Amino acid sequence: MKIDIHTHIIPEKIPNFSKNFGYEGFVSLANKTSKQADMMIFEERFRTIKCNCWSSKSRIADMKKHKIDIQLLSPIPVMFCYWARSKDALKVSQFLNDFIIEECSKNPKKFMGLGTVPMQNTNLSISELERCKEIGLKGVEIGSNINNKNLNHADFYPFYQAAQDLDMPLFIHPWEMMGMSQMSKYWLPWLVGMPAETSRAICSMIFGGIFEKFPRLRIAFAHGGGSFPHIIGRIEKGFLERPDLCAVDNEINPKKYIGKFYVDSLVHSQDALNYLIDILGPRSVMLGSDYPFPLGEDVPGELINNNPRIDADIKKDLFYKNALNWLGLEKI
């Protein structure tokens, strides 16, 4: 069995939220054909997407070709809408969550879903989290920062408590990467900013004591944990040398948290995947492809499947066992 825990989906038909709410910034689709469409923000093209971004038929055909049994569907981060008015972001979240669970209901043997919540408002984020649980979503996806607040911010404690109590895992995906305005050329926000942004999220949660405060909260990070696994030695060195700066909220060595969270396998080379498994352990890594986007794995699971260093038992961990543990599922 193979479960791809990192895939994105968008509805084929999106309400005109900008018109409905009276201000711009919401995603819409334009120039749509049967094969592709343009994602628009502020009436400018953000990116062109293929039909497999919305078409379940195309998606399932790709899954069959790539021998993927189940996709975990999640929203595209640019639709988080943390910047919007809370009540409007809630409506967008509800629309996306209803769409995702509908896709899962149509193809229950192929899809499971993650929701999205308006993280800029604690009460609304918790109420929508509860609704996500009620309608059958398996967890929620949140951004690596919330309007430039790091994920250790006390504003998010009630949400983490609710997620822990509801047994709803979190998938943390980079978005609104720091330094975007200084490196807009060469696609650097995606190539350089995303790995740094994910490391920012992990370090914020470690140094901020989130794993101590909410020990039963199951968290996964996208893109192999970004740069974090590669700079853990530097992070530990800083902690040991300057506890006056690094250990102000949590006195536990950052390395102690290895094995306390999950990452996906999207690291783009076998050497990087081997290193990831060596550093974080084989029970912390899950198949995740970022389907259907250009920076995703072209053939989901290929890095794992064709890796001579990974034996059959570890492949089972990476392909589905770790995903089931993170999602809190005994079996499917």
Ramachandran sector of residue 226 (left: φ over 0; alpha: ψ -120 to 50; beta: rest): left
Among residues 234, 208, 89, the alpha carbon closest in space to that of 156 is found at 208
- Please write the tens of the pLDDT for every residue from 228-251: 999 999 999 999 999 999 999 999
Residue 150: what are its φ and ψ, rounded to 5°? -70, 160
- Please write the tens of the pLDDT for every residue from 274-298: 999 999 999 999 999 999 999 999 9
Alpha helices in 15-70 (DSSP H): 17-21, 56-66
Q: Which residue has the tokens 């993170």?
A: 326
Structural domains for the chain: 79-94+116-327 (3.20.20.140)
Ramachandran sector of residue 259 (left: φ over 0; alpha: ψ -120 to 50; beta: rest): left
Q: 11-29 b/e with 16+ CB inside 10 Å = b?
A: beebeebbeebeeeebbbb
d(CA 49, CA 163): 32
CB atoms within 10 A of CB 259: 11
Note the pLDDT of residue 330. 84
Residues 6+ apart with CB under 8 A from 68: 2, 3, 4, 62, 300, 301
Question: Amino acid letter at 291?
Answer: Y
- Please write the tens of the pLDDT for every residue from 94-137: 999 999 999 999 999 999 999 999 999 999 999 999 999 999 99
- Please write the tens of the pLDDT for every residue from 54-97: 999 999 999 999 999 999 999 999 999 999 999 999 999 999 99
The overall average pLDDT reported for the chain is 96
Q: Which residue has the tokens 């039909």?
A: 51
The number of residues making up the chain comes to 332
Asked if residues 225 and 173 have their Cβ atoms less than 8 Å apart, the reply is: no
Note the pLDDT of residue 178. 85
d(CA 294, CA 10): 16
Q: How many CA atoms lie within 13 A of 228 on its CB side?
A: 27
What 36-41 contacts at long range (C-beta under 8 Å, 24+ apart), as own/partner pairs, is 39/10, 39/76, 39/78, 41/78
Note the pLDDT of residue 43. 85
- Please write the tens of the pLDDT for every residue from 131-186: 999 999 999 999 999 999 999 999 999 999 999 999 999 999 999 988 888 888 99
pLDDT at 332 over 80: no
